[in-house]
Chain A
């Protein structure tokens, strides 16, 4: 591997640009998608089909005053939005977009990703707590219990994958699934008959982890106004939003790598970064699609879903996989 200083810098710039573009344009995609689902056009005014809308939104957010209400914890209140953004951005470093596009090929990249995802939850907790707003505190408490509940089945599912591949390196996991969709972890019936179920569990968990509808308990605008974001204005709010979209991208990337074969083509032809992008954007569209078609669940039912259904199922799947690996 080339050890010149330029390689990390170029990667840094590219990933930052990728992340920034995604954070900005997923907002536009979301609005266009919502418009499509709701039989309206979405943003049309700024630029061609509203393509400059994210730019205008960004300008607006940046030119607004960052209000710090009385009675908030000043330091934590300012740290929280940054803390929401940085882990999501950092996660990008270890994601292999293709066999040769990866910021840093860590041996334990899966572990790092999950560690970073937990920091995102702490950002919500700090933000809600520091706001000194009752709605925000309720939202913070919800977010923590929800994230705890959904990290467990998610991790158990990942352990299954790690057992199959025998590595915690995302690059290895992806390489293991090259060549045709029947090699993808989602369809690997020779390792466990429950792999599709496992994929669904993982996907549900990633929706819940990113606080997206129908699991957006933390912001539940009809119950908690905007939850932990209630007191934030300007870029404080903007960073939370960007953090959320980046988390979606990371979640989609992770799902793609763990279950959908990363950058491999479904028919074993021309593997490359384009397949990876196609897959993550299909997943992201699914995120948007779900958000705009389902009503919100209720917080205790959400926890029940995790503790009573998802965790037992993922445990069973873990056992079955272990048995399959041992037997075959």
Chain B
């Protein structure tokens, strides 16, 4: 639904959405030029939480940068851990034991679940539904407890090591994870779908709102659920497999409606797929060491540049590592998915109503520290 904007140019006004606004989930600022409740122009203003992680990577050793990766996308920190270790392992030629790969997949997928659950909660909050937040947090809390047991932290994990992981998982973790899978499986259809997904108000607010064409996705480089909601079947885990993902049987949910509801459904289906992956990984979990032997304390990868990509909860996270043979990165470029996903906001939000634009923004699943880095 597009309504032509009919007003004199001097009748528009500028509305500052953020940097402190309940719907921007962080310090994002959007300069909206409005005609009444219609948006004439939307310009995101970034940089309020810019910390120059890329410079920090040049200052310290490779291992010293590890904790920084968790501070970008704090909701799916383990994927960022993973992307970074993949790039460094590729550069330094480190082999990872199989058990460590499985543990990586299990923890990354658990973390993806917690990220999607939090997105779901926050998205409903954007739409004015407060209660789902607490239901989702109830489930998310269990994931955090599980991950805390093995990683030692609840949010900003620094669990992966070059050539493995920090800590082996134990039987209690495995049992707890299996319990959790059973629990979420039983709650998903009843509490998440019956109560929320099929709610008429939610459907009315998401259907045909925030229409992103596949071509727009491509031109702006959108990935992840945003692209998959627009009918683009692209998932790094399938298209460019890394770690042990090829060994698992899972589907990539793709919806062709291109609207906010499609993006919503993609994420809800991804929750189920992640559960499947974790279940298979737990079944197949091999024995063995969790850390490669003979990984030098100080890494000095040969000069050259290396790229590694992983599928984070919000899209393809890429790590371009330029080495000059020294013990720290000569240049580390972190390609964050939401940066590209947000860049199409301005084009799509034009002509939208304020309320719809906020629903649309929520469906992009923004994590601001990841955009600003």
Contacts and interface: CB of A to CB of B under 8 A. Distances in A.
A221 B358 CA distance: 12
Interface stretch (A43-51, A96-104, A167-175, A291-299): A291-299
Interface stretch (B198-206, B222-230, B317-325): B198-206
B134 A297 contact: no
B174 interface: no
Nearest to B127: A295
Interface in A28-83: 34, 37-40
B286 interface: no
Given A221-B22, A223-B358, A299-B353, A294 B204 contact: no
B13 interface: yes
B128 A222 contact: yes
Given A39-B138, A134-B13, A222-B125, A298 B355 contact: yes
A214 interface: yes
A135 B125 CA distance: 19
A274 interface: no
A164 interface: no
B129 interface: yes
A301 B124 CA distance: 18
A297 B22 contact: no
Interface in B270-300: none
A9 interface: no
Label chain B's interface by main secondary structure.
Answer: helix
A102 B218 CA distance: 69
A223 B205 contact: no
B204 A138 contact: no
A300 B354 CA distance: 11
B193 interface: no
A297 B204 contact: yes
Contacts of A299: 37, 353, 355
A17 B157 CA distance: 55
Contact of B205 (A37, A292, A297): A297
B22 A225 contact: yes
Nearest to B356: A298
B131 interface: yes
Contacts, number: 76
Contact of A225 (B21, B195, B199): B21
B130 interface: yes
Given A138-B354, A222-B358, A295 B124 contact: yes
B49 interface: no
Interface in B345-373: 353-356, 358-359
A316 B179 CA distance: 55
A213 interface: yes
Interface string B245-276: 00000000000000000000000000000000
A295 B37 contact: no
Interface residues of A, number: 28
Interface string B323-356: 0000000000000000000000000000001111
Contacts of B128: 213-214, 216, 220-222, 295-296
B63 interface: no
Interface residues of B, number: 31
B155 interface: no
Contact of A138 (B37, B124, B127): B37
Contacts of B126: 222
Nearest to B123: A295
Contacts of B355: 220, 223, 298-299
Interface in A282-328: 292-301
Interface string B66-94: 00000000000000000000000000000
Contacts of A34: 130-131
Nearest to B195: A293
B13 A38 contact: no
Nearest to A142: B37
B23 interface: yes
Interface string A198-233: 000000000000000110100011110100000000
A201 B16 CA distance: 37
B15 interface: yes
B183 to A, nearest CB: 15
Given A134-B15, A221-B22, A301-B204, A295 B129 contact: yes
Contact of A297 (B13, B15, B125, B201): B201
A300 B204 CA distance: 11
B68 to A, nearest CB: 31
Given A298-B205, A298-B355, A222 B127 contact: yes
A17 B128 CA distance: 33
Interface in A213-261: 213-214, 216, 220-223, 225
A34 B131 CA distance: 8
Nearest to B20: A225
Nearest to A40: B134
Contacts of A296: 127-129, 201, 205
Contact of A293 (B21, B131, B134, B138): B131
A220 B202 CA distance: 15
A128 to B, nearest CB: 14
Contacts of B196: 295
Contacts of A301: 204-205
A297 B359 CA distance: 11
Contacts of B195: 293
Contacts of A293: 129, 131, 195
Nearest to A298: B355
Nearest to A138: B37
Contacts of B135: 38-39
A259 to B, nearest CB: 24
B353 A295 contact: no
A37 B131 contact: yes
A298 B128 CA distance: 10
Contacts of A225: 21-22
A250 B23 CA distance: 32
Interface of B: 13, 15, 21-23, 36-37, 124-131, 134-135, 138, 195-196, 199, 201-202, 204-205, 353-356, 358-359
5 contacts: A37-B131, A38-B131, A297-B205, A298-B356, A301-B204
Given A222-B125, A295-B127, 4 more contacts: A39-B138, A214-B128, A294-B201, A295-B201
Top 4 A-B residue pairs of the complex, sorted by shortest distance between their CB atoms = A296-B128, A295-B129, A295-B127, A38-B134
